[in-house]
Structure formats: C-alpha cells, structure tokens
Amino acid sequence: MLIAPLLIFVLITFIFPISDMLFRSVENDIVSDTLPRTVVALESWSAESQEAPDEDVFAAFYTDLYLAQEYKTHTRLGSRLNYQQTGISSMFRKTGRRVKRFDTDVYTDQFEELDAKWADPSYWASLMNNERVQKQLPETASSYTAWRELMVEEGDNPDAETPEDFVYTSLYRDLMHLSENGASVRNADVRTAMNAVSGFESVSLKEQFIDAEDDWADPKYWATIKLYSGNYTPGYFLNAVDMEQTINGAEVKPENERLYGTLFARTIYMSLFIMGCTILLGYPVAFLLANISRRSANMLLILVLLPFWTSLLVRTSAWKVLLQQQGVINDILVWSGLIDEAGRLIMINNQMGTIIAMTHILLPFMILPLYSVMQTIPPSYVRAAKSLGANDWTAFRRVYFPQSIPGIGAGSILVFIMSIGYYITPEIVGGTQGVFISNRIAYHISSSLNWGLASALGAILLAVVLILYWLYDRFVGIDNMKLG
C-alpha cells in the first residue's frame, strides 16, 4: 500500500520512458505512413529483377509524394532513408519540388474538355459518395479522400475546390483499367468517360520521375524503400553493430564505414583501464583506513568523502584547468625543469584526459566498498599466519588478500557500471579520441537526430549495464549498498 504511489511514480517518470526508447529502436512506421500506396504497390516488385519498378508503382509513388510534399513530410522520410542509403535524401527533396509541375495536367484538361462536370467540385463530392463508384474506382477514391483531408488540413473547403491533377491521374488509370477489362459500368458519366479514355493523350509517370531525377531508374533506391517498408526494423540495431541490411540479408559493413564496434570496444577497454587504476590506487588507501585507529580513519575518510560530495562539474572543470597546456601541471613541470617550454605535455582532449579525470571521479566508489569489506577482516588471522611462520608478504597474499576479494568485486562492478555510461567528463576532457558510446548517443539525439540509432545504441548499453547490475545484486545485494 505504502509502496504503490512511488511505484506508479517511478513507472511513469522512468520505466515508461526507457520502454519508449527501446520501442523506438525497432519502430519504423515512417515509410508506410508517408508512402502507403507505394508500399502496397511495391509488394509485387522484386529487387532481384535488377530493374526499376513498373508504372503502377510510379503512379502510387506520384500520389504519395504529391501528398507528402504538401504535408512537408517527404524531407523527413528522405533523411530517415538516407541513414540506410546515402543520396536518397536529395532525391526526395529534388523530386518533391518538381512533383507539382509534372505533365499530368493533360489528364485534368482532357477530362474537363470531355465534360465540364469533371471540373465541378460538388459533382466530384456526390460521385465519390457513391459506394459502387468507390469500389469501381479504388485508386480515385483513395486519392480523392486523401485530397479532401489535405484541403481540410489547409483550411480550405473541399466542396468548393477542384481536385488536383493527381486525382485526375488516378481517375484516368482506374478508367483505363476498367475499359481494358471490359467491365460494365452502371453510372452513365463514368461509362462515357471510360469509353473516352482510350483516346486520351497519356503521360508516363515513370518517365516523369526519371526526368526529374535519374536515380529513380536505379533499382537500389527502390530496394531500400521496400526493405524499410515494414513497421518494425532490425536496421538500427544492425547499424549499431556496424552491419547493414541488404537485399541479401544482413551483412557486415565495409571496413572504412565501421564505427560503433571501435567505439564499444574503446568504451569497454577504457572502463576496464579506469577500473584497474581505481583498484591500484584504492586498495592501499582502503587497507590503511581499515588498519589504523577508528578515530584517524574517520578523519582520513573525510578526504575520501569530500570528492564524493563535490559536484561532478567542479571536479571536471578542475581537471580541465589543471591539465591544459597552459595549466598548472605543465607550469610546474616547466618551472621544475623536467620539461622545456616547447615540450609541454598534451594531457587533455585525448584518452589520457578521460582516464585521469575519471579515475579521480570514480576512486571513492572503489575505496568505500573495499574499506567496508576490509573492516570485517579480523586482524587475528594475519597474526596467526605470521606466528605459523609466514613472512609479511605471504601472510598478505595467502590470508588477507583472498578475504578482501569481495570488496574488490563490489567496487569493480560499481566503478565499471558507472564508467561505461559516463557522458559529461569524456565530453569535456576527452576530445575526439577519448569519448565513449554515451557521447555518440547524445550526438545522435541532439545533433544528427537519428533517434532510432541512438535508441539502438542505448539499448545495447543498457543490456550490458543490466547484466552487470544483476551480477552486483547477486553477489553483493542492492540492499547492502552503503552511502557515505
């Protein structure tokens, strides 16, 4: 009962957001939302044919793109697909500008010439209200409905405006289809039009598209659209592990395009290195604290706790100031004559900067668990070992050290978990060589806006952290975590 309010609060403010992010890493409805007709039409096309799709696909694409550029969603789709196939973004932008000026106005003119009714908005409205007509002219019905929605969205009255060219194009295609099949049509106006269309001057949409942008003739771009037309995609995850989806299934990217494998590897080995440094520096201090009087230990503990309580940004800025080429450390080294003015060390904006600053920041997280474990080791064991003839080193190695291993384990997992997710410190002192996977995630969220990839990278990182968390809980227990 008492837990319920907090549990709900944590679920809403924390667990749902994390799930939302995980969902985004596979979600992919942008293609089917923006190009619904094209996606359906592409189903009958196969990328193995090595040829561009036929006129039906281009006609569906024409309607979709016309609507998309009205809603200004085509550039967003273009940049989304560009993550998978470079160049596609500019194709969408370029064709989006051209699509309104396609030669399809010949259809509009010819229909209006045939019968002035076709220019009458209210005639259209009543015709499209007829269920039988809707069934016989499916493309037209879909285009007309989409056009009406667009008008309403733009604040225009669809009952007072003549439909756009793409609706007439759909009408032409539907009627041609009917007349080729020799279907019987009950509606007199539609029948007249059906009999007339075979004499109409026609326009190839495929040619129109290729005229606007040569690349639409290249099947590889269509393969990309088809590949990403599903509502869910493994594409982001593949990308996050340096693979890509191709028509032949998942493949490893060429060597020069691999990026994340190196970044993950660097995050892990630098975290391990930092962990090693904290063990090396933390162990003697914890040992000293555990083996002196409680009074002195409490005094010295303050020196460990002060950095722990000091703002992360304060410590990071201190290191930035100290490690600079014109900073305090270099000044001291020059003054003491160890290096000369020209030989000032570069200790920042590289891996060294990240390692030094993060070792400092995470050291208390190693010392505190080590200290609490070492406090429980009875000194009598070491004395017993010595009285049995062991020298100092053997007594330490065979008796004391094995008992302190749980502390090393607890501290190591803690330091490692914190280290692989670090963002702020590497961002400020890491330059380009000393950054972690977190920095790349942040970059994809705020700069490149590739949220799917950011989510996939985040999901992988989260999985690693949760496994370590589970290990920590198993071996140390989360309720045993102590603060200060």
Partner 1 sequence: MIHLPNYASPLQKFWFYAFRVICGLVFFFLIAPIVVVIPLSFNAEDFFTFTKEMLAFDPAGYSLRHYEDFFTNPDWTGALYNSIRIAPVATLLSVGFGTLAAIGLSQSHVPFKRAIMAILISPMIVPLVISAAGMYFFYSRIGLQGTYWGVVMAHAVLGIPFVIITVTATLVGFDRSLTRAAANLGANPVTTFFRIQMPLILPGIISGGLFAFITSFDEVVVVLFVGSAGQKTLPWQMFTGLREQISPTILAVASIMVLLSIMLLALVEILRRRSERIRGVS
Q: Which residue has tokens 């009627």?
A: 175
Taking the C-alpha atoms of residue 311 and residue 361, their distance in angstroms, rounded to an integer, is 10
Residue 108 or residue 324: which is nearer to partner 1 going by CB?
Answer: 324
- Binding track, positions 395-434, relative to partner 1; x by CB under 8 A: ----------------------x--xxxxx--xx------
| Residue 321: CB minimum distance to partner 1, A | 5
Residues 280-299 touching partner 1, rule: CB under 8 A, are 281-282, 284-285, 287-288, 291-293
- Compute φ and ψ for 429, nearest 5 degrees: -110, 0
| Residue 9: CB minimum distance to partner 1, A | 5
| Residue 446: CB minimum distance to partner 1, A | 7
Q: Which residues contact 352 (CB under 8 A, 6 or more apart)?
A: 434
- The size of the interface with partner 1 (CB under 8 A), counted in residues, is 87
Residue 116 or residue 314: which is nearer to partner 1 going by CB?
Answer: 314
Q: From the list 304, 358, 373, 410, which residue makes contact with partner 1 (rule: CB under 8 A)?
A: 304
The half-sphere exposure of 378 on its side-chain side, counting CA atoms within 13 A, is 5
Taking the C-alpha atoms of residue 93 and residue 82, their distance in angstroms, rounded to an integer, is 12
| Residue 467: CB minimum distance to partner 1, A | 11
Residue 74 or residue 360: which is nearer to partner 1 going by CB?
Answer: 360
Q: From the list 89, 170, 245, 455, which residue makes contact with partner 1 (rule: CB under 8 A)?
A: 455
In contact, 408 and 327? CB cutoff 8 Å: no
Give me the amino acid identity at 246: T
Taking the C-alpha atoms of residue 241 and residue 262, their distance in angstroms, rounded to an integer, is 10
Structure tokens at 223: 């393969």
213 touches partner 1 by CB under 8 A: no
Taking the C-alpha atoms of residue 411 and residue 279, their distance in angstroms, rounded to an integer, is 8
| Residue 259: CB minimum distance to partner 1, A | 17
Residue 206 or residue 440: which is nearer to partner 1 going by CB?
Answer: 440
Residue 185 or residue 304: which is nearer to partner 1 going by CB?
Answer: 304
Residue 41 or residue 417: which is nearer to partner 1 going by CB?
Answer: 417
Binding segment for partner 1 among 47-55, 154-162, 340-348, 444-452 (CB under 8 A)? Answer: 444-452
| Residue 253: CB minimum distance to partner 1, A | 24
387 touches partner 1 by CB under 8 A: no
For the chain, the 3-state helix, strand and coil shares in percent, each to the nearest 5, are 75, 0, 25
13 touches partner 1 by CB under 8 A: yes
Nearest CA-CA partner of 408 in 476, 479, 482, 478: 476
Region at 337 (left for phi over 0; alpha for psi -120 to 50; beta for the rest): left
Q: Which residues contact 182 (CB under 8 A, 6 or more apart)?
A: none
In contact, 442 and 423? CB cutoff 8 Å: yes
Nearest CA-CA partner of 313 in 440, 446, 427: 427
Q: Which residue has tokens 């009087």?
A: 293
Residue 254 or residue 484: which is nearer to partner 1 going by CB?
Answer: 484
| Residue 404: CB minimum distance to partner 1, A | 14
Long-range contacts of 132-138 (CB under 8 A, 24+ apart): 132/186, 132/187, 133/187, 133/190, 136/174, 136/178, 136/183, 136/185, 136/190, 137/170, 137/171, 137/174, 137/175, 137/178, 137/190, 138/174
473 touches partner 1 by CB under 8 A: yes
262 touches partner 1 by CB under 8 A: no
Residues 306-335 touching partner 1, rule: CB under 8 A, are 306-307, 309-322, 324, 326-328, 331
| Residue 14: CB minimum distance to partner 1, A | 5
24 touches partner 1 by CB under 8 A: yes
| Residue 162: CB minimum distance to partner 1, A | 38
10 touches partner 1 by CB under 8 A: yes
Residue 259 or residue 463: which is nearer to partner 1 going by CB?
Answer: 463
Q: Give strand pairing partners of 232.
A: 27
Give me the amino acid identity at 28: N
Burial 58-80 (b: 16+ CB within 10 A, else e): bbbbbbbbbbbbbeebbebbbeb
| Residue 294: CB minimum distance to partner 1, A | 10
In contact, 169 and 59? CB cutoff 8 Å: yes
Q: Which residues contact 450 (CB under 8 A, 6 or more apart)?
A: 83, 444
| Residue 240: CB minimum distance to partner 1, A | 13
Residues 166-185 touching partner 1, rule: CB under 8 A, are none
Q: From the list 3, 181, 201, 432, which residue makes contact with partner 1 (rule: CB under 8 A)?
A: 3
| Residue 437: CB minimum distance to partner 1, A | 9
- Binding track, positions 56-95, relative to partner 1; x by CB under 8 A: ----------------------------------------
Taking the C-alpha atoms of residue 247 and residue 234, their distance in angstroms, rounded to an integer, is 14
Q: From the list 5, 182, 199, 254, which residue makes contact with partner 1 (rule: CB under 8 A)?
A: 5
Residue 204 or residue 296: which is nearer to partner 1 going by CB?
Answer: 296
Q: From the list 6, 155, 248, 387, which residue makes contact with partner 1 (rule: CB under 8 A)?
A: 6
